[in-house]
Structure 1
Amino acid sequence: MTILVTGATGTVGRHLVRHLLERGARVRALTRDPATAALPEGVEAVAGDLADTTTLEPAFDGVTAVHLINFAGDYRPLRNGGQIVDLAVRAGARRATVLGGWREGTLEPAVRASALEWTVLNPVNFMANVLTDWGEALRSGDRVREPYGDRKSPAIHEADIAGVAATVLAEGGHGGASYHLTGPEVLTARRMLAIIGEATGRRLRFEELTPEQAREEWSRPGERPDLAVFRAFNQDPSVTAADVVEIVLRMYAAPNEYATTLTGHVEQVTGRPPRTFAQWAAEHAAAFRRR
């Protein structure tokens, strides 16, 4: 069994590669630059760009299962989803997992309409997002400045997303399922910062901004990376930077029920409970220590 992992050097992909190797699978990793991919020993690295179907045929040759991500290197939803799925089917792949993003592109509908045994993975919020959101601020200071410090999230460890994908790809039996993946607890942003403080032995402060202050700060040059990613996922060219700020503020102020509801899907699929944010923070404590 050869399993193709797209996004193999990404937040989830690198964990998935490791999980599959531990299961004894033959792993092929799609990467735009195999020479700099730094993949584990035993992984076959193949060059290709998921957004350019003409580069993908060698990667799919002979694979029996594939892990797909629904976005390209610029975080925009894929426009060639139908072509990717056709290529996978022609190559003989029988099983596929799809890691969803902010919104569906062309990939998910094509997978659902195909003969593949497909499973869609929909994590709401990665624990790793706090590295992007807060890492620089905490390496250079002792506070996080954001609105809505009591907003809640059941964030999930990226290794648990990968564990679900590895189980599905290696064992099967989850065809047609869409899993809403969460961590084991719902935490506020304020509490997550406190847990990072406990992991690093630092006294950290959450300085709550008003929406008006957030609008002003987030609209300055050098915007927060998460806002840039959100904009990339939104394909409407009429959406402005100010629109994106308003969208994020609305999400923070009133998250929908789906985004704050715990599920047991990680344990249901893998047989083990999901990792806590405290575990994640301990693993990544060095990334939040003061310079």
Structure 2
Amino acid sequence: MTILVTGATGRVGRHVVQQLVKRGADVRVLSRDPAKADFQSGVKVAKGDLLDIDSLRAAFSGVNTLFLLNAVTGEEFTQALITLNIARESGVDRVVYLSVINADRFVNVPHFAVKFGAERMIEQMGFNATILRPSYFIDNDLTIKEVILNHGVYPMPIGSKGVAMVDTLDIAEIAAIELIRREQAPGKLPIETINLVGPDTLTGPDVAAIWSDVLGRPIAYGGDDPTGFEQNLAGFMPKWMAYEMRLMVERFVSDGMIPEDGDVARLTKMLGRPLHSYRSFATRIAASAAKPV
């Protein structure tokens, strides 16, 4: 049977497809623009999106297992609920859903509340599911590398409680492992929730210190200013989204994103290797920046 991957052209989804192909899975991706879905040979592409009922029904034909990833948009909740309903209608009950850590606690943040609502639907409709709850993506900091490199400031207001940032490669590999496990199971498995975290829980000053070390020059932490953060984001994204991101970083500052006991050990055992660290990410960026043009 086939595994359907949504969000397949994004940072996480693309790696999920690669990991599934590596494991010999039959993969189909859903894409609004098949021309952008330049995957390995053998990956099938279904044209459509999560609000196009006809294309969804067609995409689910012959599918046994779903990887559900939908982006932060004003329609995210509707997309998730419709996709899960069409999955059930199509006889698909094996699901791996990409949620977010603390989805049940940070409910004032819209996309956290959305994901918590989708988790409840998955549970109440009796899906055979793994719910993945990643922390802040290490790779998000690719968007601020120029600020770090050119201005000597780490600008993300992540606070002093600590955030266990996770690499998208680790997210994708765990997702693929769970998709294959669900796909190949002879019967229904219980719902499981897995926190996806990195090996280190870092504060804003901790991250600035890592950058200082790998670059060999002082990098300052920009501080815990959600107002300035929102204003900067509003310059290049919709204001509602900038405000939502502000609400998220306010929770970073007040609560952090801290693993539960055993999370790191569980993930390390599942992967059979150490988790990717923020220091490794920063070291790669620093080495790339040091290369002559």
Aligned to 1:261: 259
Gaps of 5+ in 1: 233-239
The verdict on how the C-alpha distance between 1:168 and 1:207 changes in structure 2, with shifts beyond 3 A counting, is: closer
SS at match of 1:93: coil
Aligned to 1:77: 76
Confirm or deny: 8 A CA contact 2:159 2:204 kept in the other structure.
Answer: yes
SS at match of 1:163: helix
The verdict on how the C-alpha distance between 1:76 and 1:167 changes in structure 2, with shifts beyond 3 A counting, is: same
Structure 2 distance, partners of 1:60, 1:21, is: 19
Q: Which moved more, 1:181-190 or 1:13-22?
A: 181-190
Structure 2 distance, partners of 1:194, 1:75, is: 36
The one-letter amino acid of 2:176's match is A
Aligned pair count reads 272
The one-letter amino acid of 1:51's match is L
Alignment of 1:1-291 (within 5 A): 1-69=1-69, 71-72=70-71, 74=73, 76-101=75-100, 102-105=111-114, 106-132=117-143, 134-138=144-148, 140-145=150-155, 147=157, 150-172=160-182, 175-199=190-214, 201=215, 203-209=217-223, 211=225, 215=227, 217-218=228-229, 220=231, 223=234, 231-232=240-241, 241=243, 245=246, 247-248=247-248, 250-256=250-256, 259-262=257-260, 263-264=263-264, 265-285=266-286
SS at match of 1:61: coil
The one-letter amino acid of 2:123's match is R
Gaps of 5+ in 2: 101-110
Confirm or deny: 8 A CA contact 1:139 1:287 kept in the other structure.
Answer: no
SS at match of 2:154: strand
Alpha-carbon offset, residue 5 of structure 1: 0.8
Confirm or deny: 8 A CA contact 1:77 1:103 kept in the other structure.
Answer: no
The verdict on how the C-alpha distance between 1:222 and 1:147 changes in structure 2, with shifts beyond 3 A counting, is: closer
Taking structure 2 as the reference length, the TM-score comes to 0.78
Confirm or deny: 8 A CA contact 2:167 2:277 kept in the other structure.
Answer: yes
Structure 2 distance, partners of 1:31, 1:146, is: 31
Higher helix fraction: Structure 1 or Structure 2?
A: 2
Alpha-carbon offset, residue 35 of structure 1: 0.4
How large is the Cα RMSD of the aligned pairs? 3.2
SS at match of 1:56: helix
Alpha-carbon offset, residue 167 of structure 1: 0.8
The one-letter amino acid of 1:176's match is I
Confirm or deny: 8 A CA contact 1:218 1:224 kept in the other structure.
Answer: no
The one-letter amino acid of 1:253's match is V
The verdict on how the C-alpha distance between 1:230 and 1:97 changes in structure 2, with shifts beyond 3 A counting, is: farther
Identity rate of aligned residues, in percent? 28
